[in-house]
Amino acid sequence: MPLRRATASVDRLTLEQKVGQMFMLAFAGSTAASAATLLRDHHVGACYLSNDNLVDPAQSATLMAELQGLARAGSGVPALLAADQEGAWAVLTRHSCPGPGNMGLGATGAVDDTREMYTVFGEELRAAGLNADLAPAADVNSNPLNSIIGMRSFGEDPEAVARHVRAAVAGLHDAGIIAAAKHFPGHGDSSIDTHRGLARVDGDRQALGRRELVPFRAAVDCGVDIVMTSHIMFPALDPEHPATLSPVILGDLLRGTMGFGGVILTDSFNMQAIRRAYDPLDAVVQTVQAGADMVLLAEERYGDESGDYVERQVRLVAGLVRAVRQGRLPASRVDDAVARILALKARYGLADRPVASATAAVKAVGSPAHREIERRVAADAVVLIQNRGGVVPLNAERSQRLVVLSATDEEGYHRMAAGRGIGPNVVERPAEVAFAEIRRRRPDALSLSLRDGEWEAQAGRLAGASAFVVVTEKFPLAGFDFPDATQHRLIQWLVSTQTSPVIVLACRDPYELAAFPGVDAYICAVGYRPACARAAVDVLFGDTAPRGRLPVSIPGLHPVGHGLNYP
């Protein structure tokens, strides 16, 4: 639907229905009951779905059909139903094929892998009844200390990230799914997680133009449907407002200079970057005035929430209606935003899409064809970063008394479980998958999961090892850092006390190598899904050759593009 026709459709909506369209809201649980008041009574135009809502493919398809029924009973406009399906963050993870995630895709160097993987995301989301993916992340991960982006980025080379962003958008479009580039104008150089507080990225306009903005220009040029804003200060662009609230960044830069004509969606207003610094309603009014078309409130939980979450969302919707009636927000700005939203929904034919089928969802999500794509792409991503003395692939002598270790801090999994289904949603722990794959090849291998410091008490059992393999893991969590210091202390102890080779099999990003550069070999899966752990074990034993290359640099050790081969 052209914007002109969408404008005519806007005129048929009441003010309450218009304002409802401008919110993407969330609800708890796996039934539509909690969403009824949002969609039917307050005409909310979009829902953010997390793993808390999506239990399995059949349930997801049924729930999405019920949500669309509620939307039609309210405003009569179909709902935009979206999730974070980007690989490193994912939904339906027990069933779907998330693949290695963006940094792993960057490690493949193959944009065809990215397009295929994002087509898989799109086909699985569509089969489960969703119609939008809040992906890809177009952030350039130039800061190794960035805990919230990290593996969600394709890498640190702006042009390479841009190529993968184009491929990701194309893949989603191939599946008929709405694509969203995030977190504009770039979250990759921040050191603060905006789930916890307001972040800041310094650098002059020229530097931002050469780095942060490159992938977003590519996204706009290839027809991305939505651009999601970031809650970050960019003093060189606007010294007074974070991007989400900035008319300079959203209006002058994104709409004006970059020519983006699609829907501008905020990042979640439940994040601490907004909640701690602004009155919620004032912030909503301000972001719409600045140029945002739709406000997202995902249901993050940080342990200090009280009261009814849905009721708080309803108050914001009602508050924005009052702001228009009181003249705080021009009605023309609302009409412009809603016209863009309706045009997007019409362009994808949401009103005419058939109701999702539970049977079709079960067949499509995690299908054998998708699993094969995931397996192949995960194999392409594995990077052999270090291999002193050619200790890998493991030969018969080094496998004779193999000791396989993990020292993952359980607190990381406790924190992930507190995220209400937002984030990595790891179901099968990478270390456990790797242990099983190694034991399948070497049934006599000794496998131990150790707590902090336990390795010294286990020194007797470790004596005489022909080689040590330590499986490390780390995930980008919303609002928390996944603790990895215990894993590093184990490796440092092994390097300093043992004479047998120490091999790290990393189911994570590669930055940790800077903490223990003395290891004999470092194999990085650049991903933590089961397919990634299996692919790394294949490289460990020489069943496949390492093909990946570093998409990020390891400061002081290895540049972007580094990667070793087997002779």
Active site residues: 195, 267
Q: How many helices (H) and strands (E) does the chain have?
A: 22, 17
Per-residue pLDDT band at 306 (split at 50, 70, 90): very low
Residue pair 434/536 in contact by the 8 Å Cβ criterion: yes
Positions of E strands within 331-409: 383-387, 402-406
Q: Do 168 and 305 share a domain, yes or no?
A: yes
* Chain segment 18-33, per-residue pLDDT in tens: 999 999 999 988 999 9
Q: Is the pLDDT of residue 511 over 70?
A: yes
Q: Do 354 and 386 share a domain, yes or no?
A: no
Q: Return the bridge partners of 238, or none.
A: 234
HSE-CB at 99 with a 13 A cutoff on CA atoms is: 33
Q: Do 418 and 337 share a domain, yes or no?
A: no
Output phi, psi for 101, to 5 deg.
90, 175
Rounded mean pLDDT, 161-177: 98
Helices within 442-500 (DSSP H only): 454-457, 459-462, 485-497
Rounded mean pLDDT, 327-342: 97
Greatest mean pLDDT range, 145-159, 285-299, 357-371: 357-371
Q: And the tokens for 319?
A: 């508050």
What is the CATH classification number for the domain harbouring 272? 3.20.20.300
Residue 383 corresponds to which amino acid? V
Does 279 map to a domain?
Answer: yes
Per the structure, how many domains does the chain have?
2
Q: And the tokens for 406?
A: 């993990």
Q: Do 339 and 417 share a domain, yes or no?
A: no
What is the CATH classification number for the domain harbouring 447? 3.40.50.1700
Q: Do 400 and 278 share a domain, yes or no?
A: no
Q: Which 3-state string (H, E, C) describes 338-350? A: HHHHHHHHHHCCH
pLDDT recorded at residue 300: 54
CA distances from 244 to 145, 248, 249 (A): 23, 10, 8
Does 458 map to a domain?
Answer: yes
Residue pair 547/382 in contact by the 8 Å Cβ criterion: yes
Residue pair 488/508 in contact by the 8 Å Cβ criterion: no
What is the distance between the alpha carbons of residues 245 and 395, in angstroms, rounded to a whole number? 58
Q: Do 329 and 410 share a domain, yes or no?
A: no
pLDDT recorded at residue 302: 42
Does 512 map to a domain?
Answer: yes
What is the distance between the alpha carbons of residues 88 and 100, in angstroms, rounded to a whole number? 7
Does 399 map to a domain?
Answer: yes
* Chain segment 375-403, per-residue pLDDT in tens: 999 999 999 999 999 999 999 888 889 99
Output phi, psi for 195, to 5 deg.
-65, -20
Range with lowest mean pLDDT among 171-180, 265-274, 296-305, 421-430? 296-305
What is the distance between the alpha carbons of residues 85 and 296, in angstroms, rounded to a whole number? 16
What is the distance between the alpha carbons of residues 459 and 377, in angstroms, rounded to a whole number? 38
Average pLDDT of the chain to the nearest whole number: 93
Does 334 map to a domain?
Answer: yes
Closest CA relative to residue 258, chosen from 209, 293, 201, 292: 209
Closest CA relative to residue 271, chosen from 201, 200, 194: 194
Residue pair 286/245 in contact by the 8 Å Cβ criterion: yes
Q: Do 391 and 350 share a domain, yes or no?
A: no
Per-residue pLDDT band at 307 (split at 50, 70, 90): low
Does 553 map to a domain?
Answer: no
Percent of the chain with pLDDT strictly greater than 90: 82
Instruction: Let me know if 490 is exposed, middle or buried by CB neighbors in 10 A (0-12, 13-18, 19+).
Output: buried
Per-residue pLDDT band at 190 (split at 50, 70, 90): confident
Residue pair 388/567 in contact by the 8 Å Cβ criterion: no
Domain limit, last residue, from 296, 323, 358: 358
Q: Do 354 and 450 share a domain, yes or no?
A: no
The residue range of the domain holding 127 is 3-358
Per-residue pLDDT band at 196 (split at 50, 70, 90): low
Q: Do 392 and 428 share a domain, yes or no?
A: yes
Does 565 map to a domain?
Answer: no
Q: Do 332 and 410 share a domain, yes or no?
A: no
Does 552 map to a domain?
Answer: no
Rounded mean pLDDT, 273-293: 91
Q: Is the pLDDT of residue 312 over 90?
A: no
Per-residue pLDDT band at 304 (split at 50, 70, 90): very low
Residue pair 34/329 in contact by the 8 Å Cβ criterion: no
Q: Do 81 and 174 share a domain, yes or no?
A: yes
Pairing mode, if any, of strands 178-184 and 80-83? unpaired
Q: Is the pLDDT of residue 222 over 90?
A: yes
pLDDT recorded at residue 2: 55
Per-residue pLDDT band at 503 (split at 50, 70, 90): very high
Is-cis flag, bond preceding 424, omega within 30?
Answer: no
pLDDT recorded at residue 417: 78
Q: Is the pLDDT of residue 413 over 70?
A: yes
* Chain segment 70-114, per-residue pLDDT in tens: 999 999 999 999 999 999 999 999 999 999 999 999 999 999 999
Q: Do 245 and 325 share a domain, yes or no?
A: yes
Q: Is the pLDDT of residue 195 over 80?
A: no
Rounded mean pLDDT, 120-124: 98
